[in-house]
Chain A
């Protein structure tokens, strides 16, 4: 804290400002404690952030629940035998009279009620995360790697290569991601891998622009010049010396992008073009091409059929954004200290 005397603030003598240092600075504390790497420090900070940890716990729980809700079979061989969901996601009360009819209210048998086809919403809700969540992680994995490679080449070489590659990005940024994905799915048809492609084909552009900006700064460092002077190849200079020092904003961006993709996948499901109708996916459960909300039998309002699937998306994306926010705080803390010394009133 800055020492306050009247309205004049004296700053710059704060001991808190020098507790965390970059290891390259060569600064050694009098007691001789070892400096720790930036990721160790970031991890330690992240672990102290309870809200971010709550986000991590929620994401992991929802992923595990989706995985273990219903047995998984690959080529007819069961590789995941657990069965948490009380009913099969496609089982309907029309064929199984014990399950009850359509739009059953919330009860012990149906903790989230039943939908218009008399299927148990709870069972479908549990399994619903499988599609959008796994697509979210796969897409972010693909797009961040492609974006890092594209952006590093553009930023490192500069000149007309950079100019050309950035103009291509400008063209991609002329379209909202969801509109591109919508048109791609329209042309390829819905389905799991079609959706992965739809969100990956242009989704890398954001990472490319982000890491290019960082690389323009990082490549001015002396150690880059030193590496080049020692005869390191471009590829090695970029991916061993520059990218590791430019990647932190990409990590934050990637963690936040998972939520964006999950909402995008669910939105296409909601529009009725992402998956086959009847797929137990959160967005498809709210399918707009079928009337979910307004028409209940005898003028009743089956709010549960609308509320729970959307709440699943909201919970997951919120948790993922809390993680991203926590990562942002943990990785940028050094800069924050530098940016806000003294502080205003």
Chain B
């Protein structure tokens, strides 16, 4: 299959998956044993039956679930995600307001993960089964095992309260100001640690596998210095494996943002989702969950295409 046909096929495959994503999102929110109207009534006990009836008619709560789904998906198609119950503001606005901080945090996490993982992975593969490899393995296992909310609390405890290098709460400055970027270092480390540990292990095994290939023996036989063999020949071929896990790690960072944004009180999508869950803002939960799903489907798509372009042997 040529590259163009592969990409086309992969793009077409996205359509049924996006449909499934919307079904799961909608289905989950309707998993609730209590119907939305009694929730609204519970939150505002002095509403009259007449007012409740009007809400039922307005949101179509009396319709069967599949009709409600069709109503919802058709309005989503034209960009109408419903409104926040408490304020009446459109739910979609919230995404655009809360997305930039989450992206900034995600980029910090990504950069931290790559900066730590690639050199350590290379080092561990070169020193395979020696002390350095074992030490890096234990560190990677700790990185996977440490709960990110606890790591975040410990970083605040040491970085902000004991050493005092960072402010305890996020400064009230624009997102791209220097003190904001400085503040982002701690949450970035928190969100990137687990991804970094996983990426490091994948890097190590990919490197170790490449080191056994014939072209490495050839390069050595030519008399190339070991440093050139590792950094120019092996590393380039191993970096492909980082691309394959990129989408998977994006999922990790998105899930991490839910917890880390709460720890650092960071005004992103993750914290908004938690707030919406506590306040039972169904439309907000819907729009953030749907957004997460669509973002990950697209990340997977990009990773697959990038992988196919980098490695001509791969065609599905």
Contact = CB atoms under 8 A, between A and B. Distances in A.
B149 A177 contact: no
Dominant SS among interface residues on chain B: helix
Contacts of B17: 167, 170-171, 174
Contacts of A342: 212
B278 A272 contact: yes
Interface in B141-159: 141-142, 144-150, 153-154, 156-157
A174 B297 contact: yes
B211 interface: yes
A288 B21 contact: no
Contacts of A182: 258, 273-274, 277
Contact of A183 (B29, B146, B150, B157): B29
B157 A303 contact: yes
Contacts of B259: 178, 267, 270-271
Nearest to B169: A294
A206 to B, nearest CB: 11
A339 B28 CA distance: 44
A340 B212 contact: yes
A267 B251 contact: no
Interface residues of B, number: 59
A177 B259 CA distance: 13
Contacts of A321: 141, 144-145
Interface in B278-294: 278, 280, 285, 289, 292-294
B254 interface: yes
Contact of A314 (B147, B156, B168, B209): B147
Contacts, number: 164
B296 A174 contact: yes
Contacts of A339: 209, 212
Nearest to B259: A267
A344 B292 contact: no
B145 A175 contact: no
A266 B289 CA distance: 21
Interface of A: 7, 167-168, 170-180, 182-188, 259, 263, 266-267, 270-273, 283, 286, 288-289, 292-294, 301, 303, 306-307, 309-311, 313-314, 317-318, 320-322, 325, 339-340, 342-345
11 contacts: A7-B220, A174-B293, A180-B28, A183-B285, A259-B144, A271-B258, A272-B278, A301-B157, A310-B149, A311-B150, A340-B208
